[in-house]
Structure 1
Amino acid sequence: MINLPVLVKKATLIAIIFMLLFFCWQAIKMGKANLNFYSTHQLTEFWLEHELTERNQYHVALQAIERANNEHPQNPQYMVTQGLVYEWGAITSLFAGEQQKQQRLIQAKSYYLDAIALRPTWPVTWATLAILKWRLGEIDQELIDYLKQADKYGPYVMEVHQAWLEIGFYLYQNKSQYTVQVIKGLRIHLKEMLKQANSPFAHSAITIIKRHKVEQLACRWLNSYDFDTQQQKSMLCL
């Protein structure tokens, strides 16, 4: 006679073994994905300090983050990182050809959008999207909306401040029709960045001001601030 309880126990044991094997495999995939992600992340952090100067280094980073996304798809942090690598490839002087650079920016944008779809409250990704559209020359309402989303979710985040200043001053200098939508926010973000004279925020703001050649405008705004601005004025105002 067939011993049903024994068969049930065997079937249950087999099912448990298969489940354990499945979870072990998933853990291995996750571990490999994390290793690939961190190797790419370390390179992108290195490029912030030393810039990207080696083609091989770029390709190593791109291949690693591609493996991470293949091993663990639907991870917004991995998506953002792959977009960031494509963006580095577009802004570096290592690769010639405007068409290739534009293509890399478009690829970066697609990864940022995918990440935002999964994590719509990440302010830095919204700010990054805004900067990327600016680099693509896509000056439109969508760009303004990206800035506003960044401000909504991270009004005191460094990258959000920087995006507002870079794009806001560009729109102001070029007399864009969209200036009216950003001028108030631009003034707020500039004030927040300049509050602490010796902070990284203030140094970043001054660098952006000088790059856009808007020292006179910034000086006028400094006069309306309710804190001591002597040090900031000494770096910006004649």
Structure 2
Amino acid sequence: MPNTNKAVKYVQILLLAVFTMVICVSSFKSMRANAWFFNAKNTLQTVNVQNNNQQELQLAMEAINIAIELDPKHPHYLQLSAHIKLLQLVAINEANNDILLAYKQTEQLLLKSVAVRKTWAETWIALAQVVSYQEGPSERVYEYIQQAKKVGPYKFDVQLGIIQIALMNWQQLPPKYKALYVNELKLAVKHGHKFARAFEVAKQVEALPILCLSLKFGTHFEPVRTSWIFKKQCK
């Protein structure tokens, strides 16, 4: 009987040791993945997309790819990978198969991210933007926008993303999108100095005149019309 008890104890100790080792290995992998994630984020801080820093973007992409290999389902890593892919495409204007494939890959990364974390508004609006590049102001894009608004109704990045989608597709914008655009514009101006980013977005999609015209009417936009940024951008 004593030998049996000893055997049971040895088995318990062995199982505990194995369990502890598994936890240690898993924790080590998570730490490594997190280190590569911050490596990618820090690299991005040195990037000026307008100067086409593709080399730095590639370094950031390589770092986040390692993080994803170590932790394939982490929503932060998937979202950052998608963000870097979009930055790599900013300086490219040609609509070729490689770019379309990159948009599709970015979409898949964002879908994986929201599957793990459905309450992240920034990921939903990024998904809406990526799909709008491929489909225009489609019903699927509208559904993703509504999901972003549901989980982040007061987030400026969500409002700015909706404004960008509307301006980018202005010539083919359905009535419900135009109503959404006006509503988000009213909400966005309440963020004060942050609204300056809307002018940058409008310039990126070559729709600054549309934004300026939108702001020239209505009491909601009076604070913007008296600002220096409006006078500078909307001459």
Q: Identity rate of aligned residues, in percent? A: 18
Give SS of 1:225's match: helix
Q: Distance in 2 between matches of 1:139 and 1:189?
A: 16
Q: Which runs of 5+ in 2 are unaligned?
A: none
Give the 5 Å matches for 1:48-197: 52-55=52-55, 57-93=56-92, 98-171=96-169, 173-176=170-173, 178=174, 180-195=175-190, 197=192
> 1:196, CA displacement in angstroms?
5.3
Q: Distance in 1 between matches of 2:233 and 2:57?
A: 37
The 1:235–1:190 alpha-carbon spacing in structure 2 relative to 1, beyond 3 Å, is farther
- The residue aligned with 1:47 is 47
What one-letter code is carried by the residue in structure 2 that aligns with 1:190? L
CA-atom RMSD, angstroms? 2.6
Matched residue count: 229
1:81-117 C-alpha deviation (Å, 9 max, x unpaired): 1222222222234x98822222111111100011111
Structure 2 residue corresponding to 1:204, chosen from 175, 178, 197: 197
> 1:194, CA displacement in angstroms?
2.0
Give the TM-score, by structure 1 length: 0.84
Give SS of 1:73's match: coil
The 1:79–1:10 alpha-carbon spacing in structure 2 relative to 1, beyond 3 Å, is same
Query: Are the equivalent residues in 2 in contact too, given 1:219–1:236 (CA < 8 A)?
Result: no
The 1:169–1:68 alpha-carbon spacing in structure 2 relative to 1, beyond 3 Å, is same
The 1:208–1:96 alpha-carbon spacing in structure 2 relative to 1, beyond 3 Å, is closer
The 1:139–1:65 alpha-carbon spacing in structure 2 relative to 1, beyond 3 Å, is same
Q: Distance in 2 between matches of 1:18 and 1:50?
A: 52
The 1:234–1:84 alpha-carbon spacing in structure 2 relative to 1, beyond 3 Å, is closer
Give the TM-score, by structure 2 length: 0.85
- The residue aligned with 2:5 is 5
Query: Are the equivalent residues in 2 in contact too, given 1:165–1:189 (CA < 8 A)?
Result: yes
> 1:78, CA displacement in angstroms?
1.0
The 1:228–1:52 alpha-carbon spacing in structure 2 relative to 1, beyond 3 Å, is closer
Q: Distance in 1 between matches of 2:63 and 2:191?
A: 39
1:28-73 C-alpha deviation (Å, 9 max, x unpaired): 1111111111111222343367754143x33322222122112112
Q: Distance in 2 between matches of 1:61 and 1:204?
A: 24
Q: Distance in 2 between matches of 1:237 and 1:21?
A: 63
Give SS of 2:154's match: coil
Q: Distance in 2 between matches of 1:87 and 1:28?
A: 30
Q: Distance in 2 between matches of 1:193 and 1:174?
A: 22
Query: Are the equivalent residues in 2 in contact too, given 1:90–1:102 (CA < 8 A)?
Result: no
1:145-171 C-alpha deviation (Å, 9 max, x unpaired): 111111121122222111111112334
Query: Are the equivalent residues in 2 in contact too, given 1:219–1:237 (CA < 8 A)?
Result: no
Give SS of 1:3's match: helix
